[in-house]
Amino acid sequence: MGSNLQQINQVAVIGTGVIGNGWIARFLAQGYDVIAFDPSEGAEQRTQKAVAQAWPSLEKIGLAEGANRNRLAFMPTIEKAVCDADLIQENVPEREDLKKAVLASIDAHAKKSAIIGSSTSGIMPSVLQEGLAHPERLIVAHPFNPVYILPLVELVAGRKTDQLVMDRAKSFYESIGMKPLIIQKEIEGHLADRLMEALWREALHLVNDGVATTEEVDAAIIYGAGLRWAQMGPFLTFHLAGGEKGMRHMLEQFGPALKLPWTKLEAPELTDELKEKIISGCESHAGDVTIGELENKRNEFLVELLSLVESYWPETTATKKLVVEK
Amino acid sequence: MGSNLQQINQVAVIGTGVIGNGWIARFLAQGYDVIAFDPSEGAEQRTQKAVAQAWPSLEKIGLAEGANRNRLAFMPTIEKAVCDADLIQENVPEREDLKKAVLASIDAHAKKSAIIGSSTSGIMPSVLQEGLAHPERLIVAHPFNPVYILPLVELVAGRKTDQLVMDRAKSFYESIGMKPLIIQKEIEGHLADRLMEALWREALHLVNDGVATTEEVDAAIIYGAGLRWAQMGPFLTFHLAGGEKGMRHMLEQFGPALKLPWTKLEAPELTDELKEKIISGCESHAGDVTIGELENKRNEFLVELLSLVESYWPETTATKKLVVEK
């Protein structure tokens, strides 16, 4: 992890809604001192409640040495919250003007060596860097709810971000049990939320058009694609759906479907170049492992996952409705 | 399950690619006699290989009494394959002309009481019913790969489908361990594939635009949304992301994001009516269970799922790339 990590001793969390509190719980479980700031009434109590709720899961995952829920202090101002912090995680509501105002205040009071990570779901880091005195230390570090359990964090550099800051941030988030994914190009919504948002918008259309209820949409995901996506993502999933010839066959068979009105989203043209990107991407991802071996492993995983799902969610209304027979 | 089920003793599978073979494995494991037809050379051997690969998973899930991999026979013609079958599952390539020709042939030779289920991913059943002598027995019964493990099957009636056929089909698919989801309105792509296709098209755009590689897209799903979608689907997931006020708060906070260019898909207008549909859908789905209780259960599930994922996929390239540190 390198000596860079030694520099991060204290973290500050600005904005303590669901995401901010998720970060606090993760940082505390990893043995950090956490300083928090949130101007809303009752924030500290809500955070304590949220951390208490997260703690049993964190104990099960494993606490770091010295981890203690009491190593949390709320400060009355941003200045006092950030002045000694080595990493500052910003989680205020998703409004550009508000984020920029808060980041300007953080920028004015933070140590020069501090890393500032914004949890923004959608705003590009270069936009957030506008007007900062030290924009080189700002990155997007976008987590997923529940932040104290899910490992993904998207790291996005802005035009003015220092590469060393990205390197230090990657090491830090890895050291707290996360899987940092460096996004190659900054775009609105980054990467994961673009995928989710596409599915979400289609889901809204389907409910709006009377094709399905919200529960039916959920059931359509859980018992099909959801079980698959927890194991291998859409590309490797389709690589296996193509039989022995993998993604190459899959694109031949289902490529033409991209022309069909299967969603309200228009697909890109499936050029030879794009095909090659996808096929070689899947093949290099699979590496030396054959499709048959991947299938075996997928099957073992799915059988276990299926029994896990059944043991946890047998009584949801969606399932009941599906299972109950007249 | 009712007396209707007694009528289904023999099933026929027409078209034995990845999906047809998945059905065969499931039917055999459930103790059925299966008759198959596929005109391509070597089809029978490929099916035997596919069933052999599926069998260990099916044994782990639990075989029905009398289940035997040898209770499978290939026939040289569609006529001979379907003439004695009580349920016929059609799985030929996704081309409307081909499907219609094969279904016409099935229609001409099947028993009048037989159910004909098409595995089509996208074509509407009313379209497939055109020109059939007995369209009332045709439905779409769309499964998900691997068909012998994943429980979801979408059932869609065409304009001419007999309601009794839908009822019998639902009972049958439930009796073989599946979760039939009745789709309220026929549309191209049905329900689940519309959601998947939206995400898939966005993924293709992201790869095409150089935002991410296929592996990075997969990682962005697996370690974030994928882990969530295996447990509760997009609506209930967001219901929990909204804090104590659930989906109502979520729509206030992230509703405006629907106007932003976060995907290449345009969202529907978030009217009061649509809002109400979504909020009340989530609230009735959650029922008497509080958000806090749902969160606890989600957390327990996620902690177990995370350790399952880690134990199965620690060495994929995507993870390696994420974890390896210079």
- Residue among A197, A207, A301 minimizing CB distance to B308: A301
List, for residues B59-72, the tens digit of each pLDDT value: 999 999 999 999 99
Q: Which residues of A touch B238 (CB under 8 A)?
A: 200
Query: One digit per residue, pLDDT tens: chain A, 326 residues?
Result: 344 445 899 999 999 999 999 999 999 999 999 999 999 999 999 999 999 999 999 999 999 999 999 999 999 999 999 999 999 999 999 999 999 999 999 999 999 999 999 999 999 999 999 999 999 999 999 999 999 999 999 999 999 999 999 999 999 999 999 999 999 999 999 999 999 999 999 999 999 999 999 999 999 998 888 888 887 888 988 888 877 788 888 888 878 888 888 888 888 888 999 988 889 888 888 888 888 888 888 888 889 988 888 887 654 444 444 433 32
Same domain, B60 and B92: yes
Q: Find the residue in A nearest to B58 (Cα).
A: A303
Q: Which residues contact A270 (CB under 8 A, 6 or more apart)?
A: A251, A255, A258, B204
A55: containing domain? 3-182
> In which band, very low, low, confident or very high, does the pLDDT at B181 lie, cut at 50, 70 and 90?
very high
B93 interfacial to chain A (CB closer than 8 Å): yes
Same domain, A213 and A269: yes
In a domain, B125, yes or no: yes
In a domain, A291, yes or no: yes
Same domain, B58 and B146: yes
Of A131, A163, A182, which residue constitutes the final position of a domain?
Answer: A182
Same domain, A54 and A144: yes
Least confident of A149-153, B284-288, B314-318: B314-318
List, for residues B205-258, the tens digit of each pLDDT value: 999 999 999 999 999 998 888 888 887 888 988 888 877 788 888 888 878 888
Task: Provide mean pLDDT across the span B269-287.
Answer: 88
Nearest by Cα to B147 from A302, A311, A210, A9: A302
B316 interfacial to chain A (CB closer than 8 Å): yes
Q: Which residues of A touch B251 (CB under 8 A)?
A: none
Q: Treating both helix axes as pointing N-terminal to C-terminal, what angle do A192-208 and B233-241 enclose, rounded to 10 degrees?
A: 110
Same domain, A69 and A153: yes
In a domain, B48, yes or no: yes
The phi, psi pair for A128, rounded to 5°, reads -70, -20
Q: Encoding tokens for residue B303?
A: 């902690």
pLDDT of residue B314: 53
Same domain, A129 and A253: no
CA distance B87 to B308: 37
SS3 label, residue A155: strand
In a domain, B94, yes or no: yes
Same domain, B163 and B247: no
Q: Do A303 and B261 touch (CB under 8 A)?
A: no
A 10 A CB-CB count for A4 gives 16
Q: Do A285 and B218 touch (CB under 8 A)?
A: yes
Return residues 109-148 of B near A (CB < 8 Å): 121-122, 144-146
Burial of A24 from C-beta contacts in 10 A (0-12 / 13-18 / 19+): buried
Kindly provide the b/e burial profile for residues B148-184, where b requires at least 16 CB atoms within 10 angstroms of the residue's own CB.
bbbbbbbbbbbeebbeebbebbbbbbbbbbbbbbbbb
Q: Find the residue in B nearest to A52 (Cα).
A: B296
Same domain, A63 and A129: yes
| Residues B270/B251, Cβ–Cβ less than 8 Å | yes
pLDDT of residue B316: 45
B166 interfacial to chain A (CB closer than 8 Å): no
Which CATH number covers residue A13? 3.40.50.720
CA distance A219 to B232: 8
In a domain, B187, yes or no: no
A274 interfacial to chain B (CB closer than 8 Å): yes
